[in-house]
Structure 1
Amino acid sequence: MKLDLNLLRVFDAIYTARNVSRAATALDLTQPAVSQGLTRLRNLVGDPLFVRAAGGVVPTARAQRMAPAIHEALHALESAVQDSAGFNPAQAERVFRLHMTDIGEDQFLPRLITTARLRAPHTRIETMRVPLDDLGSAMDQGRVDLAFGFLPGLKSMRSAILFQDRYIILMRKGHPFAQRHGARLRTLDAVHTLDFITVRTHAYTRTALEALDAAGRVQVTTEHFMALPALIEATDLAVIIPRNIALSFEPRGRYAIIEADLPRREFDVGIHWSHRYDKDPANRWLRGLALELYQET
């Protein structure tokens, strides 16, 4: 079977867009040209690959199996070509893939996207959440360009510190506890008088309470940080979270930040990348941009 690389690009674009017209726009081709390419690919593999659905198309089981390998192969080829030619941000056409949590997207994405669009207008940014056990191999394979956050498990990766953070206790501004203790907790015994929220995707929100023998004070567990503002405003619950996240909530003026000598409360937030891409021009450019925007000096 002889495969035209352009047919794989057509497949990847349709799989991503789930719509032939949008795929044509992304590829800067006409819709008939994309449809013709899809027909050729269907004949080559002996499968319809995509079937009509409301608003566009959906992949067949065969297409679902093919998609990850094709996506990774195209990304590897893009990286190889750009590596040999250098990286000119003003002209480069490149998709950068970043590992970020939901709160990472909130903290990092707005400024990163705004600046990248100005300096590298033909690049795109995609975020994803890769299980930590798979993140190192994903970066080695080029499926993830950079990982943002506090990721002590990535010991085999290169990294650079963006800023230091620490955990605090957050609650609503009118909480009786905040009015009684102020902005600094003198003794951690007082923690046992609070009821807490924990965040399933951020283990420290619970492990800190376990270390303080206060796990029994957990009343609510939520999946993500973004649910916290409404929960805290409406209840007398508290949460242990990074101070920078708390500050992102604080402009609403409805929260009390309480400093406390929590166990292992200080940590570094950084960017992480694979040794294999340490000298990759595009990766180096993106790292430099992240350091410029977020590194504390």
Structure 2
Amino acid sequence: MVSIYTMEKTDYLNIDGHQLRILLTIREAGSLSGAAKILDMNQSTISYWLDLLRKRTGDPLFVRHGNGVEPTARARDLFPAAEAALRQIEAMFEPQLYDPAEDHGVLRIACTALERDTLLKPLIHHAQQVAPALSFELPNSGSSFQLIERLRLGTLDAVFMPAGSSERDGILQRTLSRFSDAVYFDPQYPLETDNLDAFCDRPQVRVAFGPDAGFSIDRKLTKMGRTRHVAVQVSDFESALALIAGTRLIATLPALLNRQGLQKIAPPWENPQRELALYWHARNQTSARHRYWRDTLAKLAKSD
């Protein structure tokens, strides 16, 4: 007997999980009417989708047997693949779970000494308790342009910068803490408080994060009609603090840094607090792993 079902040239993308579920439910129920009841569908709808599958496979798939149907050899061959495909589809849309205890990966977060000491140190302590196999890489910070590009390229998972440093598409941020500046100096060479002339007369260390770094202090002084002498420029806070010791050099840096035996006073201008934010790429926004560590960091920052 010649089969009335001629196999169509099939685009496999036209076969979806809905059709595979119908195929497997007919097998389970042993009849089209039984499958319709299980799936809460009309029997005519079941017949329609089954006819499409028959045309796409060139096989009847089910033949009459008593009061029901039984699968053909071709259908039996399809069942394991259909089951596996449905499991894969289901897994694609299950809620993503993350267990820090099973994390053997690496988190790469660019930071300065400020974020390292005030935010990341508590985070690493927490990680040692809940994720002992997790590793951290803490590269030095750079300019905002450099850091954003590294987020885009995926070579960094997150970076710290002042809030509002970037409004680029695909880059998200979350404010974690606030900080203000202080002027650091060696106590052997005291600096008078609230004295702009004394500040401008002293040789200074300036920190530049990358080749395109901006210098808000110099812009502020320009608006005041003043300038300062930058005797040394370095790329990190710790170098600035080390150079001040034993010299007349001063540096305006975040007030929360470890002073290393130095003294500090408020700058001789209005010194409002600034917001420090964590930045990440949108590709990691819904990642359960990244969300866990962002939320943990925010909780630790709030409790500090």
TM superposition score normalised by structure 1:
0.59
Q: Does 1:113 align with 2:106?
A: no
Instruction: Percent identity, please.
Output: 19
State the aligned residue count: 206
Name the amino acid aligned to 1:274.
H
In structure 2, C-alpha distance between the alignment counterparts of 1:216 and 1:272, rounded to whole Å: 32
Aligned equivalent of 1:93: 104
Distance in 2 of aligned mates of 1:147 and 1:288: 15
Query: In 1, Cα distance between the equivalents of 2:267 and 2:143?
Result: 31
2:170 aligned with 1:159: no
State the alpha-carbon separation in 1 of the partners of residues 114 and 173 from structure 2: 20
Distance 2:142 2:247 in 1: 33
Aligned to 1:281: 288
Instruction: Tell me how far 1:269 sits from its aligned partner.
Output: 0.9
Q: Extract unaligned runs of 5+ from structure 2.
A: 1-90
Q: How far 1:266 sits from its partner (Å)? A: 3.0
Letter in 1 for 2:112: T
Q: Distance in 2 between matches of 1:171 and 1:84?
A: 53
Aligned equivalent of 1:200, options 199, 204, 208: 208
Q: Contact 1:163/1:296 (CA < 8 Å) preserved in 2?
A: no
Q: CA deviation at 1:206?
A: 4.6
1:163–1:268 contact (8 Å) kept in structure 2? yes
Q: Quote the offset at 1:87 in angstroms.
A: 0.7
Choose the corresponding residue for 1:174, options 183, 188, 191.
188
* Letter matched to residue 166 of structure 1: S
Residue pair 2:161, 2:277 contacting (<8 A) in 1 also? yes
Q: How far 1:228 moved relative to its partner?
A: 2.6
Tell me, which stretches of 5 or more residues in structure 1 are unaligned? Answer: 1-79
Q: Pick which of 85-94 and 210-219 moved more.
A: 210-219
Contact 2:200 2:227 in 1 (8 A): no
Q: Deviations over 1:89-130 (max 9, x none)?
A: 111222212122355434443322221121112222122346
How well do the aligned residues superpose, as a CA RMSD in angstroms? 3.1
SS at match of 2:278: strand
**Cα distance between partner residues in 2 of 1:232 and 1:207:** 23
Question: In 2, distance between residues paired with 1:137 and 1:193?
Answer: 38
Letter in structure 1 aligned against 2:263: A
Structure 1 residue ranges (4+ consecutive) displaced by more than 4 angstroms after TM superposition? 205-214
Residue 238 of structure 2: aligned partner: 226
Task: Name the structure 2 match of 1:191.
Answer: 199
Matching residue's letter, 1:161: T
Structure with greater helix percent: 1
* Number of the residue aligned with 2:135: 124
Q: Which has the larger radius of gyration?
A: 2
Shift of 1:204: 3.8
